[in-house]
């Protein structure tokens, strides 16, 4: 009787943990905002290409590194940047304000222009699937 209770308790605990892990890997809520702004389809492949594209020797990978699932290093300050892949860092893409702030800064620094809403949706879709 006592052992059965323990087993059920473990099962419950295990399912709570797996539900929590899965919940954290759901697509970022911010993608819904892009949808509301008229983006009917976000393309992870396009996001992937943009992420690795180079303009004047600058690329998103200059700071975030070649592999989004590992840590990056800021090209100017040398500061360590936590992984961008959602599978490696569940704290990513929780705040709309943070996402937009860095898209603005980083698209301007890397590409010398703002990213369009479509590009941001594509990149966010790709990063969050990694």
> Do 87 and 25 form a contact (C-beta atoms < 8 A)?
yes
Kindly list the distances between the CA atom of residue 55 and the CA atoms of 23, 38, 110, 129, in Å, as whole numbers in the listed order: 36, 27, 7, 24
Q: Kindly list the distances between the CA atom of residue 109 and the CA atoms of 54, 56, 85, in Å, as whole numbers in the listed order.
A: 12, 11, 21
Which of 31, 39, 92, 122 binds ligand HEC (CB under 6 A)? It is 92
Q: Judged by CB under 6 A, which of 24, 33, 62, 67 binds ligand HEC?
A: 62
> Which of 24, 87, 109, 129 contacts ligand HEC by CB under 6 A?
109
CB atoms within 10 A of CB 120: 25
Query: Is residue 82 a contact residue for ligand HEC (CB under 6 A)?
Result: yes
Q: CA-CA distance, 58 to 18, in Å (whole number)?
A: 39
Q: Is 31 in the site for ligand HEC (CB under 6 A)?
A: no
Give 7 or 49: the residue with its C-beta nearer to ligand HEC: 49
Give whichever of 42 and 99 is closer to ligand HEC, judged by the CB atom: 99
**Size, binding site for ligand HEC by CB under 6 A:** 20
Contact between 128 and ligand HEC by CB under 6 A: the answer reads: no
Stretch that binds ligand HEC, among 3-11, 19-27, 33-41, 96-104 (CB under 6 A): 96-104
Which residue, 128, 125, 105, is CA-closest to 115? 105
């Amino acid at each position: 009787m006592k052992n059965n209770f323990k087993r059920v308790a473990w099962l419950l605990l295990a399912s709570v943990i797996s539900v929590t892990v899965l919940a954290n890997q759901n697509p970022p809520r911010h993608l819904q905002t892009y949808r509301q702004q008229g983006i009917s389809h976000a393309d992870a492949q396009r996001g992937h290409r943009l992420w690795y594209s180079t303009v004047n020797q600058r690329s998103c990978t200059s700071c975030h590194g070649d592999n989004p699932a590992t840590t990056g290093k800021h090209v100017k300050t040398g500061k360590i940047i936590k992984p961008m892949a959602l599978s490696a860092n569940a704290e990513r893409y929780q705040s709309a304000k943070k996402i937009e702030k860095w898209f603005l800064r980083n698209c301007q620094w890397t590409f010398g222009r703002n990213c369009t809403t479509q590009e941001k949706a594509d990149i966010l879709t790709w990063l969050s699937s990694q």
